[in-house]
Structure 1
């Protein structure tokens, strides 16, 4: 059987190098899912969810929009659950075919997210009844956002991803600033700076992935 044109290696070294580069880029795209799937769902959840908290439970107890008290938290939980499903599905599809150390790091990192949130939930359930209502909300929001920032920085360190590391650092700085500003302002800062930052980070990462 005579080889087809596709089976004959290119005689030009430059053309061969170009083909190798294209194939490496294609493999990278298949194994690394669209970063927007990992950033945008959480960005939308924070922007909308914390934005509703600010409108309903503003600084000094101010109500900018008279929403039902249950609505902001319900919307935030629903959007966070949807974000978890989207990113979990994208990660499983991309990394399901990867084996070895990379797969193990991903599994352990996902376990760290799960156990970290379980631990946070247990502590806050115990402590929050001892605080006034406004500080209860601040405790839950700030501890959850702080955990996200730390885990993002850890992920950046594990995979040597500078952008992920600094995104986590940015979220931690915002969280501290929101804590200093107090209830109400924390929700606004996280909605705009955190949610908006996640949307921007996903957009920049996607543009870099295409280039």
Structure 2
């Protein structure tokens, strides 16, 4: 602490020019949000990828099943390809986003990503067992739709809890509700409900996530331009 040569009283150090306590706290919050966005899965990408996969896959199933009530083989391959693509993206994205972190965060990202793979591997095995047991095509169709929706819904709810992202949990809950409604819609309308409500729900939440992020990023500069936040 320096002293004033003309006085015995010490001179208190001044605060950095232009940085009030309120502005300092705001900068810290902005940095924390930027860091979180960089190391946690991006909801916009996850919602968008699953929305497109759900929309294309289920629309293909609905188109092929409109006449006979049962989806044709080609649409099943389209749907499976969409699921595999969305699942692969989710695994890679979750692991790479947390690869630069250490300790608990890194383990959570890796476990969450690989759980997607294990869940859908079990999904395929259970469908195969049902087919071997003599399940009818109608039962297989309802089971396939229900299992896939259950996995996606629960994984999104878990992701929301793990990454503190309520949007993910909201989409997961919506997927579970949609699956129940679709199960009672009857074939082939089940596929149409899943395409519109399921895929559409994902895409709507992707847009909501983009709006929320844009507002969060612009709130800091806007607050400073108007002389600071509520503490100013």
Sort the TM-score into its range (normalised by shorter chain).
0.7 to 0.9
Q: What is the 5 A alignment of 1:26-175?
A: 26-58=34-66, 61-62=68-69, 69-129=72-132, 130-175=134-179
User: In 1, are the aligned partners of 2:47 and 2:203 still within 8 Å (CA)?
Assistant: yes
* TM-score using structure 2 length: 0.75
How high is the TM-score relative to the length of structure 1? Answer: 0.82
- Report the structure, 1 or 2, having the larger helix content: 1
Residues 35 and 151 (structure 1), Cα distance of their counterparts in 2 relative to 1, 3 Å cut:
closer
Gaps of 5+ in 2: 1-14, 216-232
- Residues 11-56 of structure 1: CA deviation (Å, up to 9, x unaligned): 5314434433443333233223532211111111110110111111
Asked if structure 2 preserves the Cα contact closer than 8 Å seen for 1:10 and 1:16, the reply is no
- Are the equivalent residues in 1 in contact too, given 2:156–2:169 (CA < 8 A)? yes
Task: Return closer, same or farther for 1:111/1:85 CA change in 2, 3 Å cut-off.
Answer: closer
Structure 1: runs of 5 or more not aligned = 1-7
The structure with more radius of gyration = 2
Asked if structure 1 preserves the Cα contact closer than 8 Å seen for 2:49 and 2:86, the reply is yes
Q: Please, which of 167, 185, 188 is the counterpart of residue 184 of structure 1?
A: 188
Closer, same or farther: CA 24–10 of 1 in aligned 2, 3 Å: farther
Mapped to 2, the partners of 1:92 and 1:118 lie a distance apart of 18
Equivalenced residues, count: 199
- After TM superposition, give the deviation of residue 174 of structure 1 in Å: 1.0
Aligned with 1:19: secondary structure? helix
Residue 36 to residue 79, structure 1, CA distance change in 2 (3 Å) = same
| Aligned Cα root-mean-square deviation (Å) | 2.5
